[in-house]
Structures are given as structure tokens and as C-alpha cells.
Amino acid sequence: MTDSSQPQLKYKRVLLKMSGEALGFPGQSGISLDETMSIAQQVKTVVDMGVELAIVVGGGNILRGAQFSARGDLIDHPTADYMGMLATIMNGMALQEVLEKNGVETRLLTSLRVDNVAEYFVRRRALRHLFKKRVVILAGGTGNTGVTTDTAAALRAVELECDIVLKATKVDGIYSEDPEKNPHAIFYPRLTFSEVIEQRLKVMDAQAFSTCSEKDVPILVFNFKRPGNIERAVTGQQVGTLVSTK
């Protein structure tokens, strides 16, 4: 028998895209274990509900490749990008440790070979982990320079046959303008991919957005800082902005 009091899942297999800043100290660099614990607790809740979860992490709280790319006279662009990829692996390691301490079985898969700390990403291996209800943390971007972690998230969502991409942000969703700069900005609860293109709204970078649009993978942009929002998202409750084909 099922527990009728538990909300029913709308999305069974989910890719959660988190920026590096989500794991960091507000306005500072580094990894905040308190912030990481908060995320881990929300993840545990949805995993216990039966969600098959993959997480793509960024590395901006530690290092952004762009900050070094601007000094191409000292560090070339590909090297700066690889430095950023290594930062995402550090975040993935921290998140894995905190999740495991909370009783959530995880696997850290990377697109760069760091065999002493993580498994190399192989699609079938990742799918097997998801089938076994392990949280799959995906770090190292795609392993290619010039590609953002947003694009990595979109590509992995397609490869792993995810039902949706949850893009965790610090705002409630998509607005007509930056709500921090214009308090009268209009909030959009739902948008089509076509509307996002027409209105030039920033959802994800162009390549990531194009991949989700072409493969019909919806994107939900939501505020992960509000407790319970990940649970609300996977059960289909109104939270954030849903971008889909129709």
C-alpha cells in the first residue's frame, strides 16, 4: 500500500542544476558547510519520496574561468576553463560527503579523470546508479573548454532521460527584468520556449536552452532558498517559472 498522505511525484527522474554559489558563503568565496547541509536535507526529502536525482554543480564559489580568461596574457582561455572544471569537482566532493553523512547514497561522476576521488562519467553507468536510487553528482562540466555548466546540465538531462531540469536560483523565477533592479518587474509563472526567445529572457545560456528546447525537456527556474521548494517542484506544485514547448 502507498502512503496517500505523501504528495504524488510529477517528475520521476530529475536533473537539478546548482550554481557553485549555492554551496558558498553569501558574497564570499569558499564552501559553506551550512549551505551545503541545507541543500542536502532538501535532497534527502525528495530522494526518500522516490525521485531519481542527478545534480550538476558549478564552481563559481571557488573559481570562475572567466576571471582568468580576462588576463589571457598570463593564463590562456582553455587553461582557465579547466581550472573552473576542477572547482566544480571540489564542490561535488563536498556535496557528496554531506549527502552521505545524511544517509543518502551517492556517486560522484566527473568528465575529467580524477580516479582517486570520483568515477569517470559513462552514460550507462550513470543510468545504473539512478536505477539503484543513488544520487548522481555530475562535476567537471562536459570536460570541454568553452562550455558552461548550464550546457552540461542540459546535455546530461537529455543523456540521462530526465523528465525536467530544475534550475536552482536565488530568485523566485523568471521576470521581465531583474527584480532586484526593478521592483515592478513582471513575474512569469509559465512560458514557452518561443516566448523566452522572443522576449530575450535569460533562462540558461543559449546552447543549453537550445538543447532543452530541441529535445522537449522542460526547465523550471525556482528559488531553492525557500525551504521545501525542491519537494514542491517535483510534485508539480506551483513554484518558480516553468518553461516548456506549450
Instruction: Give the pLDDT band of residue 74 (cuts 50, 70, 90).
Output: confident
pLDDT in tens, 172-211: 999 999 888 898 999 999 999 999 989 989 888 889 999 9
Pairing of strands 13-18, 164-169: parallel
Strands (E), the chain: 13-18, 52-57, 106-110, 119-120, 135-139, 164-169, 174-175, 187-188, 190-192, 219-223, 241-244
What amino acid occupies position 77? H
Q: Left if phi > 0, otherwise alpha if psi is -120 to 50, otherwise beta: which for 114?
A: beta
pLDDT in tens, 121-180: 999 999 999 999 999 999 999 999 999 999 999 999 999 999 999 999 988 999 999 888
| CB neighbourhood size of 78 (10 A) | 13
Could you tell me the three cell numbers for 171? 530568485
Could you tell me the three cell numbers for 180? 532586484
